[in-house]
Structure 1
Amino acid sequence: MFLASLPRPLRLALYALATAILLAMCLVPQQDLPSAHMGDKIEHSIAWFVLTMTGLLLSHHRPLAIAAFAIGLGVAVELLQAIMGFGRHGDWRDLVADTLGVAVALVIYALVRRLRRR
């Protein structure tokens, strides 16, 4: 896969950029965010799906570590939202949506890998 063949420092930088963008979207004041009109939980699932799939495409050797990082980031985001204000509120249901996005990414990734082996 092309992305996984990039130099490791570049792959880490790209994943750090994806993580930083997600953190910015989750931690800026609520009124500063554009609305996608999809619903908060769907937006969370999509965001964590994209983060996880980005990690898997950049480094396919450690899928469970990538998933664990994404879920840990979801926990950290919800805790930060609960304590920092800015019109944001920590919500365990957001964490469930994040985890669902991670799980869907893992399933799709595993299916694609299995199909490519054949």
Structure 2
Amino acid sequence: MFIDRLPRPIRLALYALASAILTAMCLVPQKELPSVGMGDKIEHSIAWFILTATGLLLSHRRPRAIAAYAVGLGALIELLQATMGFGRQGDWRDLVADSLGVAVALLAYALVQRLRRR
């Protein structure tokens, strides 16, 4: 796979960029974000699925570390939202939605790995 051939620092930089984009989207004032119309919890699950899947594509040998990082980032963002203002509020249900997105990405990863072994 092409991504496997990228040097590790580049893969880490790409994942850091993905994390920074997601963090910025979660911390900017709510009124500055476009409305997608899916519902907040679904948007959280999709965003954390994408973050985790991106991490798994960039470093497929570390699924637990990537999952732990994604859930930790979700918890940090909820804490920041609760304390920073900007019209955002921390919500433990958002963290549950984030964790669901991470879990679905891990399940998809495990299924792909199992199919590859066959």
TM-score (norm 1): 0.98
Moved over 3 A (4+): none
Gaps of 5+ in 1: none
CA positional deviation for 1:117: 1.0
Q: Does 1:23 align with 2:26?
A: no
Aligned residue for 1:6?
6
Distance (Å, rounded) in 1 between the aligned partners of 2:92 and 2:4: 33
Aligned residue for 1:101?
101
Distance (Å, rounded) in 2 between the aligned partners of 1:81 and 1:97: 15
CA positional deviation for 1:4: 2.5
Q: What is the aligned-residue identity percentage?
A: 79
Q: Aligned partner of 1:91: which letter?
A: D
- Counting only pairs closer than 5 Å after superposition, residues 34-113 of structure 1 correspond to structure 2 as 34-113=34-113
Q: Aligned partner of 1:57: which letter?
A: L
Kindly report the root-mean-square deviation, in angstroms, between the aligned alpha carbons of the 2 structures: 0.6
Gaps of 5+ in 2: none
Distance (Å, rounded) in 2 between the aligned partners of 1:3 and 1:78: 31
TM-score (norm 2): 0.98
